[in-house]
Amino acid sequence: MRLAILSPVLMLAACAASSTALESAQAVQAEAASPFVGSWDGSSFETAMFLRLNEDRTFEWALTVGGLDMTAQGNWRAEGDTVTFASDPVPVPTTIALIGVNDNPGGPMLRVFHENGDPVEHSSTLTKCADGQTFLGRVGPEGSSPNPEQCPDPVSVRVLIPGVEADWPVFDLAENGWQPGKTIRFEFQPGDCGVMDFTGMAARLEGDVLTFTEESGGDTYRRMKPPE
Protein backbone atom coordinates (compact mmCIF):
# COMPACT_ATOMS: atom_id res chain seq x y z
CA MET A 1 0.00 0.00 0.00
CA ARG A 2 1.35 3.42 -0.96
CA LEU A 3 1.03 6.09 1.71
CA ALA A 4 0.15 9.60 0.60
CA ILE A 5 2.80 12.08 1.64
CA LEU A 6 1.64 15.64 2.34
CA SER A 7 3.91 18.44 1.28
CA PRO A 8 5.11 20.84 4.00
CA VAL A 9 2.92 23.58 2.48
CA LEU A 10 -0.22 21.44 2.67
CA MET A 11 0.66 20.36 6.20
CA LEU A 12 1.05 23.99 7.28
CA ALA A 13 -2.26 24.89 5.63
CA ALA A 14 -4.00 22.04 7.40
CA CYS A 15 -2.50 23.09 10.74
CA ALA A 16 -3.53 26.70 10.15
CA ALA A 17 -7.08 25.62 9.31
CA SER A 18 -7.24 23.46 12.43
CA SER A 19 -5.87 26.33 14.53
CA THR A 20 -8.42 28.77 13.09
CA ALA A 21 -11.27 26.35 13.71
CA LEU A 22 -10.06 25.80 17.28
CA GLU A 23 -9.81 29.53 17.93
CA SER A 24 -13.32 30.07 16.54
CA ALA A 25 -14.70 27.30 18.72
CA GLN A 26 -12.93 28.74 21.77
CA ALA A 27 -14.30 32.21 20.98
CA VAL A 28 -17.85 30.86 20.73
CA GLN A 29 -17.38 28.98 24.00
CA ALA A 30 -16.01 32.11 25.67
CA GLU A 31 -19.01 34.13 24.48
CA ALA A 32 -21.42 31.55 25.85
CA ALA A 33 -19.54 31.58 29.16
CA SER A 34 -19.42 35.38 29.43
CA PRO A 35 -20.41 36.47 32.94
CA PHE A 36 -22.38 39.37 31.44
CA VAL A 37 -24.84 37.13 29.58
CA GLY A 38 -28.20 36.82 31.31
CA SER A 39 -31.11 38.81 32.72
CA TRP A 40 -30.59 41.69 35.13
CA ASP A 41 -33.10 43.37 37.45
CA GLY A 42 -32.66 47.06 38.28
CA SER A 43 -36.11 47.59 39.78
CA SER A 44 -36.73 49.74 42.83
CA PHE A 45 -39.72 51.25 44.62
CA GLU A 46 -42.43 52.00 42.00
CA THR A 47 -39.90 51.45 39.19
CA ALA A 48 -39.60 48.31 37.04
CA MET A 49 -36.33 48.14 35.10
CA PHE A 50 -34.87 45.11 33.34
CA LEU A 51 -31.83 44.46 31.15
CA ARG A 52 -31.12 41.38 29.05
CA LEU A 53 -27.65 40.66 27.61
CA ASN A 54 -27.74 37.92 24.98
CA GLU A 55 -24.98 35.54 23.88
CA ASP A 56 -25.00 37.05 20.37
CA ARG A 57 -23.87 40.37 21.88
CA THR A 58 -27.27 42.06 21.58
CA PHE A 59 -29.24 43.56 24.46
CA GLU A 60 -32.76 44.67 25.34
CA TRP A 61 -33.70 47.11 28.10
CA ALA A 62 -37.08 48.23 29.47
CA LEU A 63 -38.23 50.73 32.09
CA THR A 64 -41.67 51.40 33.53
CA VAL A 65 -42.27 54.09 36.15
CA GLY A 66 -45.68 55.65 36.66
CA GLY A 67 -47.07 56.46 33.22
CA LEU A 68 -43.62 56.43 31.57
CA ASP A 69 -42.45 53.48 29.47
CA MET A 70 -38.97 53.41 27.89
CA THR A 71 -37.12 50.77 25.87
CA ALA A 72 -33.71 50.32 24.27
CA GLN A 73 -31.94 47.75 22.13
CA GLY A 74 -28.58 47.31 20.45
CA ASN A 75 -25.19 45.68 20.95
CA TRP A 76 -22.80 45.23 23.86
CA ARG A 77 -19.06 44.66 24.15
CA ALA A 78 -17.06 43.41 27.14
CA GLU A 79 -13.57 44.46 28.19
CA GLY A 80 -12.46 42.89 31.45
CA ASP A 81 -15.10 43.62 34.08
CA THR A 82 -16.70 46.44 32.05
CA VAL A 83 -19.44 46.25 29.44
CA THR A 84 -20.22 49.07 27.00
CA PHE A 85 -23.39 49.57 24.99
CA ALA A 86 -24.35 50.93 21.57
CA SER A 87 -27.95 51.37 20.44
CA ASP A 88 -28.85 49.81 17.09
CA PRO A 89 -30.63 51.43 15.41
CA VAL A 90 -29.78 54.76 17.02
CA PRO A 91 -33.11 56.35 18.01
CA VAL A 92 -34.21 59.67 16.53
CA PRO A 93 -34.35 62.11 19.48
CA THR A 94 -37.60 63.68 20.63
CA THR A 95 -37.48 67.47 20.52
CA ILE A 96 -39.25 70.80 20.12
CA ALA A 97 -38.41 72.82 17.00
CA LEU A 98 -39.07 76.49 16.27
CA ILE A 99 -41.10 76.74 13.06
CA GLY A 100 -41.79 80.46 12.80
CA VAL A 101 -42.73 83.84 14.24
CA ASN A 102 -45.70 85.83 13.00
CA ASP A 103 -47.35 89.17 13.76
CA ASN A 104 -50.29 88.59 16.06
CA PRO A 105 -51.27 91.71 18.05
CA GLY A 106 -53.22 90.70 21.13
CA GLY A 107 -52.42 87.02 20.55
CA PRO A 108 -50.46 84.61 22.75
CA MET A 109 -46.69 84.74 23.08
CA LEU A 110 -46.38 81.16 21.83
CA ARG A 111 -48.24 78.20 20.41
CA VAL A 112 -47.24 74.54 20.11
CA PHE A 113 -48.24 72.24 17.22
CA HIS A 114 -47.95 68.62 16.19
CA GLU A 115 -46.15 67.71 12.97
CA ASN A 116 -49.52 67.42 11.19
CA GLY A 117 -50.36 71.03 12.07
CA ASP A 118 -52.84 70.31 14.87
CA PRO A 119 -52.27 72.22 18.12
CA VAL A 120 -50.84 70.28 21.06
CA GLU A 121 -53.58 70.02 23.68
CA HIS A 122 -51.34 70.16 26.74
CA SER A 123 -47.75 71.35 27.11
CA SER A 124 -45.75 73.37 29.62
CA THR A 125 -43.28 76.23 29.49
CA LEU A 126 -40.40 77.42 31.60
CA THR A 127 -40.13 81.14 30.86
CA LYS A 128 -37.11 83.10 32.04
CA CYS A 129 -37.64 86.81 32.68
CA ALA A 130 -35.31 89.79 32.42
CA ASP A 131 -34.99 89.90 36.22
CA GLY A 132 -33.66 86.31 36.25
CA GLN A 133 -36.80 84.66 37.61
CA THR A 134 -38.25 81.57 35.90
CA PHE A 135 -41.96 80.74 35.83
CA LEU A 136 -43.77 77.51 34.96
CA GLY A 137 -46.71 77.96 32.61
CA ARG A 138 -49.36 75.82 30.94
CA VAL A 139 -50.06 75.88 27.22
CA GLY A 140 -53.42 74.89 25.74
CA PRO A 141 -54.54 74.62 22.10
CA GLU A 142 -54.91 78.40 21.83
CA GLY A 143 -51.40 79.10 23.09
CA SER A 144 -50.09 80.86 26.17
CA SER A 145 -48.40 84.00 27.48
CA PRO A 146 -46.62 84.57 30.80
CA ASN A 147 -48.38 86.58 33.47
CA PRO A 148 -47.41 90.20 32.63
CA GLU A 149 -47.31 91.10 36.32
CA GLN A 150 -44.85 88.29 37.09
CA CYS A 151 -42.85 88.42 33.87
CA PRO A 152 -43.30 91.65 31.88
CA ASP A 153 -40.09 91.10 29.91
CA PRO A 154 -39.60 87.42 28.94
CA VAL A 155 -36.17 86.64 27.48
CA SER A 156 -36.20 82.88 26.86
CA VAL A 157 -38.57 79.93 26.90
CA ARG A 158 -38.35 76.16 27.14
CA VAL A 159 -41.31 74.06 25.98
CA LEU A 160 -41.93 70.68 27.62
CA ILE A 161 -44.39 67.90 26.80
CA PRO A 162 -45.74 66.29 30.01
CA GLY A 163 -44.90 62.60 30.38
CA VAL A 164 -42.23 62.68 27.65
CA GLU A 165 -38.54 62.43 28.53
CA ALA A 166 -36.33 64.56 26.26
CA ASP A 167 -33.53 67.11 26.27
CA TRP A 168 -35.82 70.08 25.65
CA PRO A 169 -33.96 73.06 24.13
CA VAL A 170 -34.05 76.63 25.43
CA PHE A 171 -34.96 79.35 22.91
CA ASP A 172 -33.78 82.95 23.23
CA LEU A 173 -36.82 85.00 22.24
CA ALA A 174 -35.07 88.10 20.88
CA GLU A 175 -32.50 86.07 18.92
CA ASN A 176 -35.35 84.19 17.25
CA GLY A 177 -37.26 87.31 16.23
CA TRP A 178 -39.94 87.46 18.92
CA GLN A 179 -41.14 90.72 20.41
CA PRO A 180 -44.44 91.86 21.96
CA GLY A 181 -47.24 91.68 19.40
CA LYS A 182 -45.87 88.51 17.82
CA THR A 183 -46.47 84.80 18.35
CA ILE A 184 -43.61 82.32 18.23
CA ARG A 185 -44.63 78.88 16.95
CA PHE A 186 -43.11 75.56 17.98
CA GLU A 187 -43.50 72.01 16.70
CA PHE A 188 -43.38 68.85 18.79
CA GLN A 189 -41.27 66.28 16.94
CA PRO A 190 -41.68 62.93 18.73
CA GLY A 191 -38.95 61.06 16.84
CA ASP A 192 -38.56 57.62 18.40
CA CYS A 193 -40.49 58.67 21.47
CA GLY A 194 -40.04 56.22 24.34
CA VAL A 195 -36.76 54.79 22.99
CA MET A 196 -33.58 55.55 24.93
CA ASP A 197 -30.13 55.86 23.38
CA PHE A 198 -27.65 53.61 25.22
CA THR A 199 -24.72 54.49 22.96
CA GLY A 200 -21.61 55.15 25.06
CA MET A 201 -23.11 53.87 28.30
CA ALA A 202 -20.96 51.56 30.41
CA ALA A 203 -21.38 49.32 33.45
CA ARG A 204 -19.02 47.38 35.71
CA LEU A 205 -19.56 43.83 36.95
CA GLU A 206 -18.81 42.82 40.55
CA GLY A 207 -20.05 39.34 41.34
CA ASP A 208 -23.74 39.27 40.51
CA VAL A 209 -24.12 43.06 40.54
CA LEU A 210 -23.89 45.22 37.42
CA THR A 211 -23.43 48.92 38.19
CA PHE A 212 -23.60 51.62 35.54
CA THR A 213 -21.04 54.41 35.73
CA GLU A 214 -22.07 57.78 37.14
CA GLU A 215 -21.94 59.21 33.61
CA SER A 216 -24.39 56.48 32.55
CA GLY A 217 -26.87 57.12 35.34
CA GLY A 218 -25.39 55.04 38.18
CA ASP A 219 -28.19 52.44 38.19
CA THR A 220 -27.53 49.06 39.80
CA TYR A 221 -28.80 45.73 38.46
CA ARG A 222 -28.73 42.30 40.09
CA ARG A 223 -28.47 39.05 38.18
CA MET A 224 -31.77 37.21 37.86
CA LYS A 225 -31.54 33.49 38.52
CA PRO A 226 -32.92 31.32 35.69
CA PRO A 227 -36.04 29.32 36.57
CA GLU A 228 -35.28 25.84 37.84
What pLDDT is attached to residue 5? 39
* Burial profile 96-116: b = 16 or more Cβ within 10 angstroms, e = fewer: bebeebeeeeeeebbbbeeee
Q: Closest by alpha carbon to 61, among 32, 34, 86?
A: 86
Residue ranges of domains in the chain: 35-91+195-223, 95-189
Answer CATH for 35-91+195-223 from 3.40.50.720, 3.90.79.10, 2.40.128.360, 3.40.50.11540:
2.40.128.360
Residues ≥6 apart with Cβ < 8 Å to 5: none
pLDDT tens figures, 48-100: 999 999 999 999 999 999 888 999 999 999 999 999 999 999 999 999 999 99
Angle formed at CA 35 by CA 220 and CA 22, multiple of 5 degrees: 155
Identical fold, 35-91+195-223 and 95-189: no
Cα 146 to its chain centre, rounded Å, is 31
Q: What is the CATH number of domain 95-189?
A: 2.60.40
State the pTM of this model.
Answer: 0.67
The model's pLDDT over 157-178, given as tens digits with 9 standing for 90+, comes to: 999 999 888 899 999 999 999 9
pLDDT at residue 35 tops 90: yes
Q: What is the pLDDT of residue 227?
A: 76
